[in-house]
Amino acid sequence: MSHMHSSTPTVCVFCASSTRVSAEYTHAAQTLANILVNNGFGIRYGGGSVGLMGAIADTVLSRGGLITGIIPEFMVEREWQHPLVTNMMVVKTMAERKKLLIEGVAAIVTLPGSTGTLEELIEVISLKKLGQIDTPIIIINTNGFFNPLLEMLRRMVDEQFMPASDLTLYTVIDHPEQIIDAMAMTSVMQNEN
């Protein structure tokens, strides 16, 4: 467990494991990983070897950066884990994985993905709303991927299922190149609140 609390500031990244997605999404994942490594951040992710997860891990490893994977046992049994990520924590459940992914991180960043990524994102927004975490949550809206979700969240406000202030629980950026500014901005805004 000791490496979870290394002195390197760490960013949690949620993203897809699908190998069929457009190269634009893979490129965004690689760009994000490069920028985080360049700025001295380690990355904590879901431990997978393919899709955007694999692209993140491969990029960090090729740069000699710090990457930690957290993966449940059943995925290891299916050989889904990245074979070259040496900092790999194997946990019993998906719930434990999600808890450890976000523990003590400097920011939570979400790239496009499917239901697992969506679940992780919605869960951290809910945790932040409930005051259980105060970590900056940043959505990278590559190719407008998250527009329908963002519209749904605005509709929740319009129809009074949640207050407008909940729309400030996360920050949306269009390009991974905006990540460092977004993290700095979010931290400043939270310190003022």
pLDDT at residue 135 tops 80: yes
| 187: number of Cβ within 10 Å | 15
Q: Choose among 15, 99, 81, 79: nearest CA to 51.
A: 15
In this prediction, residue 1 has a pLDDT band, given cuts at 50, 70 and 90, of very low
- For the chain, list the domains and their CATH numbers: 2-186 (3.40.50.450)
Separation between Cα atoms, residue 82 and residue 76, nearest integer Å? 9
Comparing 1-5, 37-41, 60-64, which segment has the lowest mean pLDDT?
Answer: 1-5
Tell me what the mean pLDDT of segment 172-180 comes to.
Answer: 98
Question: Do the beta carbons of residue 12 and residue 47 sit within 8 Å?
Answer: no
Residue 128 amino acid letter: K
- Roughly what angle, to the nearest 10 degrees, separates helices 179-192 and 23-38? 60
Supply the pLDDT for residue 134.
96
Tell me what the mean pLDDT of segment 71-95 comes to.
Answer: 96
pTM of the predicted protein model: 0.94
Higher-scoring residue by pLDDT: 26, 4 = 26
Average pLDDT of the chain, as a whole number? 94
Supply the pLDDT for residue 3.
47
Supply the pLDDT for residue 193.
53
